[in-house]
Structure 1
Amino acid sequence: MPKSTRSTVSTRTARSPFRSLAIGVVTLAVAAPLAACGGSGASASAGSGGDGPAKVTVLRSNGALFEPLYIAQQQGYFKAAGLDVTIKPGAQDTSQNAPSLLNGEAQFAMTDSSGFLKGAAKNMPIRIVTALVSTNTKNAPTDGLLVKKSSPVERFSDLEGKTVGLAALGGNIQFMVEYLVEKDGGDPGKVKFVALPTTSLTDAAKTGKTDAVFSFGAFYGAGKEAGLRSVGNGTNDLPGLTQGLLFSTQKYLSGNSATAKKFADAVARAMTYANAHPDAVKAVDKKYTQLPAAYIDKAQNAYYDKSLDTTVMRTVITKMHAYGLLSSTPKDDAIYWDKAPTTTGG
């Protein structure tokens, strides 16, 4: 959809969070030289050299899909790999985790494919290490558009002129809504987006603060449990879309390749365990989300997969650029770590 078709209101609303992205870019401009000069001490404190386990800090998302990180810690996979891993909550908008990596506060961070691409499009020296969760058609949707049962929104093209609440603007979810509106014959430039805390999405739709919300993970199921109606199949309508991934800096990966590989392998081992032991995933959710235990017990878990579908990623890049969500279209060698588990599908 040509950028010129966007209404003034939707463009202003959807793009306003990029002020914070611009601030992040300025921060990176300052932080990157510090890292290059060794001012952060990242390689010394988190590398594979020296006595004892390599210290690694990873920034997780605040919503969902971080469960394999805790499982790798609980099952001793990190320890067995010679790693001392600290897991911390990252930014609400996970695309803003990049500055923390570039200044050495952490070595790995979570985001989604779109969140990562916003940094890559700005030529930030970051690379995807592994996927955590990607969409597939094997499981029922674990995310999607939610509206009140009485809402006139029956399909994505009905969102023209409507307001949609998202956990963060400019990422996978906004891209997906715009993609599905266009696919349904609508104009994505006529949809207004607002950012809300993940835990407030259900109430926003129920009270009419927004016409719809796009929720995910356990919060999506909780919204349906609260009486909201789903429209479409969420991100399952684009199989292979990476919903959760771990990334690092090019500098860290170059200087600490062995440590990074051990970390990625331990997380992959935890993904396999998580898929085979759903109760372990639910135990993590009970501890680190604000959802009722009774709901978590009956909610569907995500399916974890380390594979990165480069074909689907290229579709995301092309469409995000068309929607004005990316300033450029980064090439594959500026996206993936050379040891990342990539595949060609789509």
Structure 2
Amino acid sequence: MRRPLVGLTATALVLSAATACGSSQSSDTSGASEKGGSTTVKVGVIPIVDVAPIYLGKEKGFYSKRGIELDLVTAQGGAAIVPGVVSGQFGFGFSNTTSLMIAQTKNVPVKGVANGVASTGKEGADFGGVVVKKDSSIKDAADLAGKKVAVNTLNNIGDTSVRESVRKAGGDPKEVKFVEMAFDQMPAALDNGQVDAAWVVEPVLATAKAAGDRVVASNFVDVAPDLTVALYFTSTQFAQKNPDLVKEFKEATDESLAYANSHPDEVREILSTYTKIPAATLSAITLPSWPTEPNRASLETLAELGRTDGVLTTAPDLDKLLP
């Protein structure tokens, strides 16, 4: 079930995770349970195209052949998944890289395990972007200054990257007014005038385009070529107590990422099992890139932007964070 988190910022959620770190975990397999020679692992994910590889890998048996049974649980965004992983609710989680960097700089014990998803690096042909209504007066990213823009979580990779789009287009990024809401609520909010623009990712992007909405910024592309957008991660406690499980999870995830990259038709098919996108829209989805290794240079740029905009107060230690 989707957990509504409107009104909570990423920073507040990360602070709650830091509080959770003070309690001891009850067993060596928090977020996981053993049964019949295999280990069932709860993984926090978001119902968007980014996580198609893990659903595909589960279907193809990449995890089960390594003794791992996945229990995939959805949440609104990475900022919500971080405290779930740290508290032991999940063994692993999927989160955007800004959430993980925020967590680490606040001494929340998170550790990247495997790559998650990356931008295509193609302007106007990425799996995410900022959309406006067809008849909107907003023509480019500079016009977003002074406007309400929806993002799935505040103080995160969405608003950080959108600000960079505005900055590069010559607008004032400080003047953008961000509104937090779930991705699947954004098209309606845009249509009824609740917001002026929305940062969306697939499959919501395809839905918005089908309704006639226009893309005015490819915000991931504006940050860096081939931006590493998200990672699969765990808590440092879980990694220390379950090194073999973490190793097997990484190997299965790497296999899933590679398979997804080379089987786009199967990716589109698996999307219909965990999203509500109409079958007719599946072919219109722009798929992201799923490399097995993160692009460190892109994350260094993202961290710099986070500090420029005040999302990060100190520089993250990428050596400790990255897989």
Pair in the same fold by TM > 0.5: yes
Whole-angstrom distance in 1 between the partners of 2:151 and 2:267: 24
- The counterpart of 1:211, out of the listed 165, 173, 196, is 196
- The counterpart of 1:103, out of the listed 72, 77, 87, is 87
Whole-angstrom distance in 2 between the partners of 1:59 and 1:284: 18
Written as runs of structure 1 = structure 2, the 5 A alignment for 1:149-164 is 149-164=134-149
CA spacing shift, 1:201–1:333, aligned 2, 3 Å: same
Say whether 1:62 aligns with 2:51. Answer: no
Deviation digits for residues 129-168 of structure 1, max 9, x if unmatched? 1222111336922211111222222221111111111122
1:313 CA drift (Å): 0.8
Unaligned runs of 5+ in 1: 1-15, 341-346
Q: Secondary structure at the match of 1:66?
A: helix
1:217 CA drift (Å): 1.1
CA spacing shift, 1:138–1:265, aligned 2, 3 Å: farther
Bigger mean CA deviation after superposition, 301-310 or 106-115 = 301-310
Whole-angstrom distance in 1 between the partners of 2:17 and 2:307: 23
Asked if the contact 1:42/1:104 (under 8 Å) is kept, the reply is no
TM value normalised by structure 1: 0.84
Query: What's 1:124 paired with?
Result: 108
Whole-angstrom distance in 1 between the partners of 2:77 and 2:39: 28
Asked if the contact 1:113/1:241 (under 8 Å) is kept, the reply is no
1:194 partner amino acid: V
1:266 CA drift (Å): 0.7
Q: Secondary structure at the match of 2:63?
A: helix
1:258 CA drift (Å): 2.0
1:116 partner amino acid: L
Asked if the contact 2:112/2:231 (under 8 Å) is kept, the reply is yes
1:96 partner amino acid: A
1:278 partner amino acid: P
Say whether 1:220 aligns with 2:205. Answer: yes
Say whether 1:248 aligns with 2:237. Answer: no
Query: What's 1:6 paired with?
Result: none
1:46 CA drift (Å): 3.9
1:302 partner amino acid: P
Unaligned runs of 5+ in 2: 1-6
Query: What's 1:285 paired with?
Result: 271
Asked if the contact 2:13/2:79 (under 8 Å) is kept, the reply is no
Say whether 1:233 aligns with 2:207. Answer: no
Asked if the contact 2:119/2:127 (under 8 Å) is kept, the reply is no
Whole-angstrom distance in 1 between the partners of 2:258 and 2:319: 28
Query: What's 1:25 paired with?
Result: 15
1:193 CA drift (Å): 0.5
Whole-angstrom distance in 2 between the partners of 1:277 and 1:190: 42
1:115 partner amino acid: S
- The counterpart of 1:92, out of the listed 50, 59, 76, is 76
Whole-angstrom distance in 2 between the partners of 1:85 and 1:23: 25
Query: What's 1:192 paired with?
Result: 177
1:118 partner amino acid: I
2:302 partner amino acid: V
2:21 partner amino acid: A
TM value normalised by structure 2: 0.90
Deviation digits for residues 280-300 of structure 1, max 9, x if unmatched? 212221111111111113423
Runs of 4+ more than 6 Å apart: none
Asked if the contact 1:144/1:234 (under 8 Å) is kept, the reply is yes
1:122 partner amino acid: K
CA spacing shift, 1:253–1:126, aligned 2, 3 Å: same
Whole-angstrom distance in 1 between the partners of 2:77 and 2:87: 18
Say whether 1:179 aligns with 2:164. Answer: yes
Written as runs of structure 1 = structure 2, the 5 A alignment for 1:112-151 is 112-137=96-121, 140-151=125-136
CA RMSD of aligned residues (A): 2.2
- Counting aligned pairs with the same residue, the percent is 26
Say whether 1:76 aligns with 2:58. Answer: no
- Determine which structure has more spread, i.e. the larger CA radius of gyration: 1
Asked if the contact 1:95/1:118 (under 8 Å) is kept, the reply is no
CA spacing shift, 1:271–1:228, aligned 2, 3 Å: same
1:27 CA drift (Å): 4.9
CA spacing shift, 1:105–1:150, aligned 2, 3 Å: same
Asked if the contact 1:40/1:103 (under 8 Å) is kept, the reply is no
1:307 CA drift (Å): 1.6
Whole-angstrom distance in 2 between the partners of 1:292 and 1:52: 38
Bigger mean CA deviation after superposition, 233-242 or 223-232 = 233-242
Deviation digits for residues 228-276 of structure 1, max 9, x if unmatched? 1111333123223222321111121122222111111111111222222
Report the count of equivalent residues: 315
Deviation digits for residues 37-76 of structure 1, max 9, x if unmatched? xx4314377489x971233221111333111111111111
Deviation digits for residues 173-222 of structure 1, max 9, x if unmatched? 11111111112222211110101221121222223221111111111111
